[in-house]
Amino acid sequence: PETIYLKDYTPFGWQVSDVHLTFRLAPKSTRVISKIHFAPNPEAPAQEFFLHGEDLKLIRATIDGVEVTPEVTPEGLRCAVPDGPFLWEAEVEIAPEDNTALEGLYMSSGMYCTQCEAEGFRKITYYPDRPDVMSVFSVRIEGDLPVLLSNGNSVDRGEGWAEWHDPWPKPAYLFALVAGDLVNFPDRFTTRSGKEVKLNIWVRPGDEGKCAFGMEALKTSMKWDEDAYGREYDLDVFNIVAVDDFNMGAMENKGLNIFNSSCVLASPETSTDGNFERIEAIIAHEYFHNWTGNRITCRDWFQLCLKEGLTVFRDQQFTADVRSAPVARIENVAQLRARQFPEDQGPLSHPVRPESFQEINNFYTATVYEKGAEVIGMLKTLVGDEAYATALNLYFDRHDGDAATIEDWLKVFEDATGRDLTQFKRWYSQAGTPRVEVTEDWADGTYALTFKQHTPPTPGQEVKEPQVIPMAVGLLNPNGDEVVPTRVLEITEAEQTFTFDGLASRPVPSINRGFSAPVVLDRASSREERAFLLAHDTDPFNRWEASRLLARESLIAMICEDAGPDEAWLDGLERLLRDRDLDPAYRAMMMGTPTESELAQVLFERGHTPDPDAIHAAKEVLAQVKAERWADLLPGLAAEGTVDAPFAPDAEQSGKRALGAAVLALTSRLDGGKAARAQFASADNMTLQLSALAQIIRVGEDAEALAAFEDQWRHDRLVMDKWFGLQVGATAPENVVPRAEALTRHADFDWKNPNRFRAVMGALAMNHAGFHRKDGSGYRLLTDWLIKLDDLNPQTTARMTSAFQTWKRYDAERQALMRAELERLQAKPKLSRDTGEMVARILG
Ligand code: B3K
Ligand code: ZN
């Protein structure tokens, strides 16, 4: 397969002023008629006329009304064209019903829908399918279905047809069409300049009752973007459609967002607090793309972080504002460490702005999204809130209507602040997680902190230059008072020292407060110091971090030295848990421990060979010790974690339920699951029902509860996804593979549906000790199914191969087993380009 390079970027030879599309819908034979005005692009070098097109049957093509016979290849077509402007017309036939890749125009539960990002439009018609070609689209849909939707504003409609016009020039990846027997949940929003906007959430009949929360989230997002960024909505209508078969979370098509139904439909009975929070964030994210992504788009796919990093950053700011900022920050960092760090520290490591790819869908990664957002957070920390606001206004003014680059983005900050961002730009070009070693010195009232930064080599990048690291630091005196409030140290050198004068006693440092830089800190600090920060740090993030490090070191000692759990830490934690002034959500997070996968990574870095069973066993012992030690504390905490008011999915109630769930996880180790069974029987919302079911499964006697749950919910696909996933996720390691295997034989294991496939196979890959069974059965089962899915849906298959990205951490036997499975996948006949690229990169 061909590799595409950033350095080879060349503009397209023509501009497109307008596009008219007519769709005659039929499941096996949809006709797409296109009329496109092309005019030579004065800024582009001479080139042959090439339009992308895949799996299209060309019926006819004309230029200025005269029939032409283009040269058709599997990737598109070439054609001789006039020197000046011309009108291109083509008719193609496609078969949405046979489209199992869920890219282009396809069918889901009887409804037509599209997914065009990144390169799906070329499966709809011949077109320059690249984000720097922007045009005004008019669409006519003909089909015998009650609801026919496309981007922009509704122009006219009648029985069996509808016409849409989107006045905002856009790239083809933002095109969308939906047609089906749908009902809407309507509302309205008045923008701050007084424009009335119709809002609709379109769902299958029966799902109307699950739209209210998403609609509120949409209105809150619209208001927030006006208040925080001065951005108003720009069309008469904003449509959201829920689709059951979708490769990812949602898509920001202009004026017609399409959502995986799991990311928009919600009700207290069927959705957990976690679902509600995620839905709120995704609705906000897709809405925010209207400005960061749609009005200002990307010049090419290498610039993906321009829209994704910024939009994630914006949705994280939104969540911090509408919920709890410290809790949101901790959740974001935990996610970053769980998903982005393994990527950045393994064979899939790539820069936030990659420089080459074979299949762009493989680069919608945690690095582009989440690290991309961290980079923007650092930029904001460095320039300050005011300059950040000025730079963003300049960005919107200067680049509205553009297909922009990271250079454009950094330039607005340089122009707004006078700063030189040449070195900062390395965050976009250098892959890998920087490691920062910290040492300290104390003499005569002066305290010195020395930072040494180093980024390990990553594939294709042996040598790294020092990066700009904004390190937020505060100092506490031995009494626990803050003597130096948070200050941002700007590290630019490979080694750099900062001093603090006039201190009465040697301070205790609190470093990388709020996780001001996405780095790994290497600092030898004592247990006592960590316990001190756990008790006294004024920075809520670092207080949590202190507990995390204590937990991690305690577990490592249990694994490597057969030690018992760290008593001092457990005492400190207990004091904190008893502090009723602390937010229950925050206390719930404090009760968490590092994931088994993270422990495996730390052991590996320290030269040990991680043993997944030993890691799992240590976590079990720790949980048992906590439960016994805190037996008299738990009932009080459980009471604090109980909500008496009617269900609301807000931060306050969900924080309480999170505390309740953390307590139940311990209580069930003392009572054999009695409290969990009682909660399961009386639960009137999914959060309580599912947290109880998780404990029942963990304890082991779960047949009755699982059957009851299935009986209650078999009609609801989204709830049944939870049922499938939890059985694999919460069960004991030795049962994980047999259970997953048995579930693949369940009549409702509709594996062509990405949500269902991920529910089982994703849970298998995420269950560390279960997936890494010594006999290789976990690796084998996943690979069997990846091989099966690849023929139908390359995108989801490729994404799930990343379960193997950490293979080099483990012992020789496991490595050999994983390598063999990767090679078996690689040898599959007709392996997709998507999966082929991933496997090759993972094998290295
Ligand atoms: N932009 C889409 C993701 C498209 C993924 C294509 N493989 C959703 C989002 O980031 O908002
Ligand atoms: Zn996005």
Domain range summary for the chain, segments of one domain joined by +: 1-181, 183-295, 301-429, 436-543, 720-844
For residues 596 and 618, give the distance between their C-alpha atoms in angstroms, rounded to a whole number: 10
- Kindly tell me the sign of the dihedral angle through the C-alpha atoms of 702, 705, 708, 709: negative
DSSP string, 551-592: HHHHHHHHHHH-PPP-HHHHHHHHHHHT-TTS-HHHHHHHT-
Mutate to test the pocket of ligand 1, among 173, 252, 291, 365 (most ligand atoms within 8 A of CB): 252
Task: Give 676 Cα–ligand 2 centroid separation in angstroms.
Answer: 38
Contacts of 349 (CB under 8 A, 6+ apart): 343, 367, 431, 432, 458, 459
Please list the rounded mean pLDDT of every run of 10 residues in the chain (844 residues).
Answer: 97 98 98 98 98 98 98 98 98 98 97 98 99 98 98 98 98 99 98 98 98 98 99 98 98 99 98 98 99 99 99 99 97 98 98 98 98 99 98 99 99 98 98 98 97 98 98 98 98 98 97 98 94 97 97 98 96 97 97 97 97 98 98 98 98 98 98 98 98 98 97 98 98 98 98 98 98 98 99 98 98 98 98 98 97
- Which protein residue has the closest C-alpha to ligand 1 atom 10? 308
Q: How crowded is residue 33: how many other Cβ atoms within 10 Å of its Cβ?
A: 17
Q: What CATH architecture does domain 183-295 belong to?
A: 2-Layer Sandwich (3.30)
Counting ligands in written order, the one closest to the CA of 118 is 1
- Which protein residue has the closest C-alpha to ligand 1 atom 8? 251
pLDDT of 304 reads 99
pTM of the model: 0.99
pLDDT of 147 reads 98
Q: How crowded is residue 674: how many other Cβ atoms within 10 Å of its Cβ?
A: 12
Task: Give 613 Cα–ligand 1 centroid separation in angstroms.
Answer: 36
Tokens representing residue 491 in the block: 């590290």
Alpha helices in 230-361 (DSSP H): 273-288, 304-322, 325-335, 341-344
Cα torsion through 533, 536, 538, 541, rounded to 10: 40
Active site amino acids:
286
Task: Give 289 Cα–ligand 2 centroid separation in angstroms.
Answer: 7
Q: How crowded is residue 253: how many other Cβ atoms within 10 Å of its Cβ?
A: 28
SS3 111: strand
Contacts of 84 (CB under 8 A, 6+ apart): 39, 40
pLDDT of 239 reads 99
Mutate to test the pocket of ligand 1, among 102, 114, 117, 313 (most ligand atoms within 8 A of CB): 117
- Which protein residue has the closest C-alpha to ligand 1 atom 9? 251
Atom of ligand 1 nearest to the CA of 249: 8
Q: What CATH architecture does domain 1-181 belong to?
A: Sandwich (2.60)
pLDDT of 600 reads 98
pLDDT of 758 reads 98
Atom of ligand 1 nearest to the CA of 795: 7
Domain covering 436-543 in this structure, CATH number: 2.60.40.1840
Q: Does residue 285's CB lie within 6 angstroms of at least one atom of ligand 1?
A: yes
Contacts of 69 (CB under 8 A, 6+ apart): 61
Atom of ligand 1 nearest to the CA of 286: 11
- Which protein residue has the closest C-alpha to ligand 1 atom 4? 117
For residues 680 and 678, give the distance between their C-alpha atoms in angstroms, rounded to a whole number: 5
Atom of ligand 1 nearest to the CA of 360: 7
Atom of ligand 1 nearest to the CA of 117: 6
pLDDT of 628 reads 98
SS3 30: strand
For residues 465 and 454, give the distance between their C-alpha atoms in angstroms, rounded to a whole number: 8
DSSP string, 141-192: EE-SSSEEEESSEEEEEETTEEEEEEEEEE-GGG--EEEES-EEEEEEEE-T
Parallel/antiparallel/unpaired status of strands 196-203 and 237-243? parallel
Residue 52, beta-bridge partner list:
76, 127
Is the Cβ–Cβ distance between 808 and 797 less than 8 Å? no
Counting ligands in written order, the one closest to the CA of 251 is 1
Is the complex ipTM higher than 0.90?
yes
Residue 454, beta-bridge partner list:
435
Task: Give 117 Cα–ligand 1 centroid separation in angstroms.
Answer: 7
Q: Does residue 361's CB lie within 6 angstroms of at least one atom of ligand 1?
A: yes
Q: Domain 720-844: state its class.
A: mainly alpha
Is the Cβ–Cβ distance between 114 and 108 less than 8 Å? no
- Kindly tell me the sign of the dihedral angle through the C-alpha atoms of 630, 636, 638, 640: negative
Q: Does residue 118's CB lie within 6 angstroms of at least one atom of ligand 1?
A: yes
Is the Cβ–Cβ distance between 703 and 739 less than 8 Å? no
Counting ligands in written order, the one closest to the CA of 306 is 2
Cα torsion through 496, 502, 508, 509, rounded to 10: -30
CATH 3.40.50.150 fits 301-429, yes or no: no
Q: Does residue 286's CB lie within 6 angstroms of at least one atom of ligand 1?
A: yes
Residue 552 half-sphere exposure toward CB, CA atoms < 13 A = 17
Tokens representing residue 289 in the block: 């793309």
Neighbours of ion ligand 2 (CB under 5 A): 308, 311
For residues 729 and 712, give the distance between their C-alpha atoms in angstroms, rounded to a whole number: 21
Shared fold status for 301-429 and 436-543: no
- Which protein residue has the closest C-alpha to ligand 1 atom 7? 361
For residues 546 and 535, give the distance between their C-alpha atoms in angstroms, rounded to a whole number: 9
Task: Give 121 Cα–ligand 2 centroid separation in angstroms.
Answer: 18
Counting ligands in written order, the one closest to the CA of 311 is 2
For residues 675 and 671, give the distance between their C-alpha atoms in angstroms, rounded to a whole number: 7
Contacts of 224 (CB under 8 A, 6+ apart): 284, 318, 321, 322
pLDDT of 359 reads 98
Which residue has tokens 């700011």? 317
For residues 378 and 627, give the distance between their C-alpha atoms in angstroms, rounded to a whole number: 40
Q: Does residue 117's CB lie within 6 angstroms of at least one atom of ligand 1?
A: yes
Counting every residue, how long is the chain?
844
Task: For 79-93, give one letter per residue: b (16+ CB within 10 A) or e.
Answer: bebeeeebebbbbbe
- Which protein residue has the closest C-alpha to ligand 1 atom 1? 251
pLDDT of 696 reads 98
